[in-house]
């Protein structure tokens, strides 16, 4: 169980260079390009799942997010061209993604999810299964605070074993998936700042949700919510960053309802 | 004789009414072995899943670059737990933990071509039985291994024990051409054998 403390903001495409330069100076670290694919799963609606467990405690149906990293070698300028040279890819590539064109082949992503061939353990993709609570309530919260439970699936065996069959066995079915490509900065006190481009993808369409700009997320993960000192320190570290960037970008607490992964109670 | 070991064997059953007609597929098993502290093994039907345990520390992260990759690409927060924790907290409306079998202070004997592990299993109600696990090491042939298994069988007969279960099932297609070597296969097959033996 992890507490994630975060603040969000956004910038437009043309501010990207300046912001990268600013963060480079503020953090003293170079920008790092990263990419991931996330799939979101919901409890199978055809199953009669009760809202309570055998002890009578209320348990709400929540989505599970299953995500894995995309190797940078998979990024392509467009679906027809050859993969880029990995060494040549850096954070500037994000500037070229201004429309809905996604630099990753849809089929390759599907193969990652349904792929069953395996040569050895290391070749098998590790996936992270995570369930997050709705962020903590309270009117005068200075930062968003969310509890995340996660487990890492390292590998699997069995005939026809892939992420889909595994999730189905757990009673979950696929809902939607999205790709995130972004740049991250590592700052002091485990503070991480990310600029993200997000694409919602289906077989027929790719839509960039962050069209025209970037989502900015600054966060710190704290492994023990009971460690009050650390929580307070973490909060002040985030607020310091907020102060430092004041007047330039506004890091704010998002609406907690937008970060609710529970299913609508019908 | 080597270090003592322990095991935790948990059974989950779904209480979704229309989940499946087949009573066996309503069950899911989770195992934690003290001699494989990095892993949590889940057996569901004929699927074997190898998950991170809650004992992930810095050195484990360094050894398995895949975990490192997940953290660096914003997939994982860096503090994963075993699936038991998720099942036991967030998914209790779907999966209910039924029985925990525990074995502590198990013995390990190493012979020239085998490792033999023995442990007494207890549930909350009492003694469940003795588990004997035989693992061949090195390049032992199948015949040598079968001889060892027969030796154990003879031993059991000698002390008048006729009521035992034995399993050498595997989840993967195992052929001589394709000897199983990966940790995943070994552990999941081992876990599957535990399930088969304990299922009766």
User: B64: domain CATH number?
Assistant: 2.20.140.20
Contact check, Cβ <8 Å, B47/A120: no
| pLDDT tens-digit map of B93-122 | 888 888 888 888 878 887 777 788 888 888
| Cβ contacts of A169 on chain B, cutoff 8 Å | 25, 28, 44-45, 47
Q: Does the pLDDT of residue A171 top 80, yes or no?
A: yes
> Region B133-159: what's the mean pLDDT?
75
- When the pLDDT of each residue in chain B is averaged and rounded to a whole number, the result is 76
Interface check for B44 against chain A (CB to CB < 8 A): the answer is: yes
Contact check, Cβ <8 Å, B172/A120: no
| pLDDT tens-digit map of B155-189 | 877 777 667 777 766 666 554 444 555 666 777 77
The pLDDT value given to residue A118: 47
> Region A168-187: what's the mean pLDDT?
87
The pLDDT value given to residue B177: 40
Nearest CA-CA partner of A223 in A199, A179, A190: A190
Going by pLDDT thresholds of 50, 70 and 90, the confidence category of residue A119 is very low
| pLDDT tens-digit map of A28-48 | 888 888 888 888 988 888 887
Q: How far is CA A21 from CA A16, A26, A28, A248, B68, in A?
A: 9, 9, 10, 13, 26
| Cβ contacts of A120 on chain B, cutoff 8 Å | 182
Tell me how far apart the alpha carbons of residues B149 and B171 are, in angstroms, rounded to a whole number.
20
Lowest mean pLDDT among A117-131, A144-158, B132-146: A117-131
The pLDDT value given to residue A100: 66
The more confident residue out of A59 and A200 is: A200
Lowest mean pLDDT among A72-76, A179-183, B11-15: A72-76
Tell me how far apart the alpha carbons of residues B146 and A227 are, in angstroms, rounded to a whole number.
54
Q: Does the pLDDT of residue A121 top 60, yes or no?
A: no
The pLDDT value given to residue A27: 85
- When the pLDDT of each residue in chain A is averaged and rounded to a whole number, the result is 80
pTM of the model: 0.82
> Quick one: tokens of B166?
């034995």
How does DSSP classify residue B73? T
**Residues in chain A, total:** 266
Q: A96 CB contacts (<8 Å, ≥6 apart)? A: A77
How does DSSP classify residue A203? S
The pLDDT value given to residue B82: 80
Contact check, Cβ <8 Å, A1/B85: yes
DSSP SS3 for A210: coil
**Count of domains observed in chain B:** 1
Residue of A nearest to B189 (CA): A157
| pLDDT tens-digit map of A92-112 | 777 777 776 767 777 777 777
Q: B54 CB contacts (<8 Å, ≥6 apart)? A: B40, B80, B81, B82, B85
Going by pLDDT thresholds of 50, 70 and 90, the confidence category of residue B200 is low
The pLDDT value given to residue A120: 45
Q: Does the pLDDT of residue A223 top 60, yes or no?
A: yes
> Quick one: tokens of A257?
């309802």
Q: Which residue has the tokens 């013995």?
A: B107
Which of A10-24, A147-161, B131-145 holds the top average pLDDT? A10-24
Contact check, Cβ <8 Å, B73/A131: no
> How near does any CA of chain B get to the CA of A263, in Å?
13
> How near does any CA of chain A get to the CA of B11, in Å?
14
Among residues of chain A, what percentage have pLDDT more than 90? 1
Q: Which stretch of DSSP H or E encloses residue B88? A: helix B83-89
Tell me how far apart the alpha carbons of residues B40 and A82 are, in angstroms, rounded to a whole number.
40
| pLDDT tens-digit map of A225-258 | 788 888 888 889 989 888 888 888 888 888 888 8
DSSP SS3 for B19: coil
Tell me how far apart the alpha carbons of residues B160 and B149 are, in angstroms, rounded to a whole number.
17
Q: Which stretch of DSSP H or E encloses residue A213? A: strand A213-222
Domain boundaries, position B105: 5-199
CB A68 within 8 A of CB B70: yes
> Region B124-138: what's the mean pLDDT?
77
> Quick one: tokens of A227?
């460690």
DSSP SS3 for A139: coil
Tell me how far apart the alpha carbons of residues B163 and B187 are, in angstroms, rounded to a whole number.
26
Q: Dihedral sign, CA of B132, B32, B50, B181?
A: negative
Number of neighbours of residue A188 by Cβ within 10 angstroms: 11
DSSP A157-172: ESTT--HHHHHHHHTE
Contact check, Cβ <8 Å, B51/A50: no
Q: Does the pLDDT of residue A166 top 50, yes or no?
A: yes
> Quick one: tokens of A80?
């027809």
Strand partners, A256: none
The pLDDT value given to residue A113: 73
Q: Does the pLDDT of residue A123 top 80, yes or no?
A: no
DSSP B114-170: EEEEEEEEE-SSSEEEEEEEEEE-TT--HHHHHHHHHHHHHHHHHTT----------
> How near does any CA of chain A get to the CA of B20, in Å?
9
The pLDDT value given to residue A79: 47
């Amino acid at each position: 169980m992890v507490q994630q403390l975060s603040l969000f903001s956004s910038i437009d495409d043309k501010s990207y260079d300046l912001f990268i330069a600013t963060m480079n100076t503020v953090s003293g670290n170079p920008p790092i390009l990263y990419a991931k694919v996330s799939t979101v799963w919901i409890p199978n609606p055809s199953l009669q799942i009760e809202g309570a467990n055998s002890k009578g405690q209320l348990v709400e149906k929540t989505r599970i997010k299953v995500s894995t990293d995309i190797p940078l070698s998979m990024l392509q300028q467009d679906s027809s061209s050859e993969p880029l040279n990995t060494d040549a890819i850096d954070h500037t590539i994000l500037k070229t993604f201004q429309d809905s064109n996604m630099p990753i082949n849809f089929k390759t992503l599907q193969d990652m999810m349904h792929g069953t061939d395996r040569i050895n353990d290391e070749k098998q993709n590790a996936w992270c299964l995570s369930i997050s609570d709705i962020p903590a309530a309270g009117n005068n919260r200075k930062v968003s605070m969310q509890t995340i439970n996660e487990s890492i699936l390292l590998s699997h065996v069995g005939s026809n074993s892939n992420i889909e069959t595994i999730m189905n066995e757990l009673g979950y079915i696929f809902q939607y998936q999205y790709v995130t490509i972004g740049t991250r900065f590592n700052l002091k006190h485990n503070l991480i700042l990310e600029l993200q481009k997000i694409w919602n993808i289906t077989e027929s369409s790719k839509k960039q949700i962050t069209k025209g700009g970037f989502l900015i997320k600054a966060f710190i993960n704290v492994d023990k919510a009971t460690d009050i000192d650390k929580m307070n320190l973490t909060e002040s570290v985030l607020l310091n960053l907020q102060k430092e960037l004041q007047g330039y970008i506004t890091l704010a607490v998002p609406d907690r309802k937008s970060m609710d992964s529970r299913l609508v109670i019908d | 004789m080597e270090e003592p070991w322990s095991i935790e064997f948990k059974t989950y059953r779904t209480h979704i009414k229309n989940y499946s007609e087949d009573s066996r597929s309503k069950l899911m098993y989770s195992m934690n072995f003290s001699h494989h502290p990095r892993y949590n093994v889940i057996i569901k039907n004929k699927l074997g899943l190898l998950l991170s345990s809650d004992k992930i520390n810095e050195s484990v992260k360094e050894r398995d670059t895949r975990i490192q990759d997940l953290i660096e690409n914003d997939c994982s927060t860096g503090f994963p737990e075993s699936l038991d924790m998720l099942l036991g907290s967030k998914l209790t409306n779907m999966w209910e933990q039924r029985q925990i079998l525990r074995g502590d202070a198990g013995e390990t004997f190493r012979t020239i071509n085998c490792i033999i592990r023995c442990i007494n299993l207890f549930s909350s109600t009492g003694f469940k039985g003795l588990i004997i696990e035989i693992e061949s090491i090195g390049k032992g042939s199948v015949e040598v291994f079968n001889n060892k298994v027969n030796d154990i069988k003879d031993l059991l007969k000698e002390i008048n024990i006729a009521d035992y279960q034995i399993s050498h099932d595997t989840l993967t297609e195992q052929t001589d051409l394709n000897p199983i070597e990966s940790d995943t296969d070994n552990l999941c097959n081992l876990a599957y054998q535990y399930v088969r033996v304990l299922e009766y």
